[in-house]
Chains A and B, each alone.
Chain A
Amino acid sequence: MKQNVRINDMVIRFANVNGTGSASANDLFSKAVFRMGIPLSSKNFFPSNIQGLPTWYEVRVSEKGFTGRRAGVDLIVAVNPQTFKKDVTSVVPGGYFLYDSTKNLHPEFIREDVNYIGIPMMKLCMDNYEVPRQQQLFKNIVYIGALATLLDVEMEVIRGIIRDMFAKKEKLIPPNLKALELGADYVKQNFSYPLNIRLERRNLLGDQIIMDGNTACALGAIYGGATVAAWYPITPSTSVINAFEKYCKKYRIAEDGTNNFAIIQAEDELAAIGMVLGANWNGARAFTSTSGAGISLMTEFLGLAYFAEIPSVIVNVQRGGPSTGMPTRTQQSDLIACAYASHGDTKHVLLFPATPADCFDMTADAFDLAERLQCPVLVMTDLDLGMNIHLSAPLQWNESRKYDRGKVLNREQLEEVKQFGRYLDVDGDGICYRTLPGTHPTKGSFFTRGTSRDEYARYTEEGDAYVRNMQRLEKKWETAKKYVHAPRIRSTGRKDAIGVVYFGTSGFSAEEALAELKSENVEFDVMQIRSFPFHAEVEKFMTAHEEIFVIEQNRDAQMRTLLINELQLPPARLHSVLNYDGMPITADTIQEQIRKGLNQLKKISVS
Chain B
Amino acid sequence: MTFVKSTFRHPASAKNTVGFTKADYEGALSTLCAGCGHDSISASIVQACFDLAIEPHRIAKLSGIGCSSKTPTYFLGNSHGFNTVHGRMPSVTTGANMANRDLIYLGVSGDGDSASIGLGQFCHVIRRNLNMTYIVMNNGCYGLTKGQDSATADRGSINKSGAENRFQAIDLAALAMELGAGFVARSFSGDKTQLVPLIKAALSHPGFSFIDVISPCVTFNNNPGSTKSYDYVREHIEATSSLDFVPEEKEITINYESGAPASVTLHDGSTLSLLKLNPSWDPTNRMESLSRMQHAKNEGHILTGLLYVEPQTQDLHKTINTTSKPLNSLTEKDLVPGQSVLDKVNAGFR
Residues of chain A touching chain B, judged by Cβ–Cβ distance below 8 Å, are: 34-35, 207-211, 219, 222-223, 225, 227-228, 230, 247, 251-252, 254, 256-264, 266-268, 270-284, 286, 300-301, 304, 394-397, 399, 401-403, 435-442, 445-451, 458-462
Contacts and interface: CB of A to CB of B under 8 A. Distances in A.
Contact of A251 (B84, B128, B323, B337): B337
A260 B330 contact: yes
A450 B327 contact: no
Given A260-B323, A278-B91, A397 B336 contact: yes
Given A262-B320, A274-B92, A447-B81, A437 B60 contact: yes
Interface residues of B, number: 65
B60 A266 contact: no
Interface stretch (B50-58, B154-162, B276-284): B50-58
A438 B60 CA distance: 8
B258 interface: no
A212 to B, nearest CB: 9
B94 interface: yes
B273 interface: no
Interface of B: 1-2, 4, 24, 28, 55-58, 60, 62, 72-73, 77-85, 88, 90-100, 102-103, 120-121, 123-124, 128, 317, 320-325, 327-328, 330, 332, 334-339, 341-343, 345-346, 349-350
Given A258-B322, A275-B91, A445-B78, 15 more contacts: A209-B346, A228-B95, A228-B98, A270-B121, A272-B91, A278-B93, A282-B103, A284-B95, A394-B342, A445-B80, A448-B83, A458-B4, A460-B1, A460-B2, A461-B1
B350 A210 contact: yes
B81 A281 contact: no
24 contacts: A210-B350, A211-B349, A223-B336, A223-B342, A225-B330, A251-B341, A254-B325, A258-B324, A260-B322, A261-B322, A262-B320, A273-B91, A274-B91, A278-B99, A283-B328, A286-B98, A435-B80, A437-B57, A439-B57, A442-B57, A448-B82, A458-B1, A461-B1, A462-B1
A113 B124 CA distance: 61
A48 to B, nearest CB: 24
Which 8 A-B residue pairs are closest in the complex by CB-CB distance? A278-B95, A274-B91, A284-B99, A275-B95, A437-B80, A283-B328, A279-B95, A282-B99
Contact of B100 (A207, A282, A395, A441): A282
B342 A395 contact: yes
A437 B343 CA distance: 38
A286 B97 CA distance: 12
A247 B343 CA distance: 14
B323 A258 contact: yes
Scoring A446, A449, A459 by chain B CB atoms within 10 A of each residue's CB, the highest score goes to: A449
Contacts of A399: 338-339
A107 to B, nearest CB: 45
Contacts of B84: 274, 277, 304, 450
Contacts of B1: 458-462
Contacts of B77: 445
A270 B90 CA distance: 11
Nearest to B123: A267
Nearest to A34: B350
A395 B346 contact: yes
A260 B326 CA distance: 9
Nearest to B341: A251
Nearest to B87: A270
A253 B27 CA distance: 41
Scoring B102, B334, B336 by chain A CB atoms within 10 A of each residue's CB, the highest score goes to: B336
B95 A280 contact: yes
A373 to B, nearest CB: 19
